[in-house]
Amino acid sequence: MLALLIERPTYVYELSQRFDDRFGELLPVATGTVYKAVDGLLKRGLVERMAVEGEEDRRQPKPHYRATADGARTLRQSLADDMRGDPFQAEMLQRLMSVSVQDARAMLDLVDRYERVCLEQLGMLPPVPVAVGETRTSFAALRGELVAEERRLTLEAQMKWVAYARRRIGAVNGGTGEM
């Protein structure tokens, strides 16, 4: 809900419709649940009511909401944290970038967080496996080695993507990719 409000401020019923259009097949949610979610976000200071011209003259006003700056930061942090151990990190990153990143600084912040998650996961992997050609005493040990090496190689590829993303953001932003 927060990501959709970052994308475009709106009133709750429209937010519910947008959520259903985008995610309804995977995660159906009743409109009442959306009202509760927005209320919770409001209480946490992640969204705020916004004034809409002419709204106060309506018999039944539709309060509109938008994300606060803290809401946008919290969403980016939460989604980056959720990527830890998630085999679908790339998909999560793509979804995050598609709804909540509005400028180069925010995009670089996301890339930095993504890099930290990758480095943290690299640090948790066991030492580099033995050289090819050496024999193992059990298939269980070999299985563990192969799983760890697949993860290591994946993380190294993700780190290459981080460098690429910084270069591309810098090129589009007219700078070096640093803010």
Sign of the alpha-carbon torsion through 87, 93, 98, 100? positive
pLDDT of residue 172: 84
The residues, any chain, with a CB within 8 Å of residue 111's CB and separated by 6 or more, are 162, 165, 166, 169
Give the phi and the psi of residue 169 in degrees, each rounded to 5: -60, -45
- What are the structural domain ranges in the chain? 1-67, 69-179
pLDDT at 111: 84
Q: Cα dist. 51→10, 133, 173 in Å?
A: 11, 69, 33
Q: Tell the CATH topology of 1-67.
A: Arc Repressor Mutant, subunit A (1.10.10)
Span 122-156, pLDDT tens digits: 888 877 656 655 665 676 677 777 888 888 898 89
Residue 1: CB partners within 8 Å, gap ≥ 6?
Answer: 15, 19, 34, 37, 38, 41
The pTM assigned to this predicted structure is: 0.50
129: which 2 tokens? 């496996």
Residue 179: its pLDDT value, please? 43
| pLDDT per position as a tens digit, 162-179 | 999 899 988 887 764 444
Identify which has the larger pLDDT, 114 or 50: 50
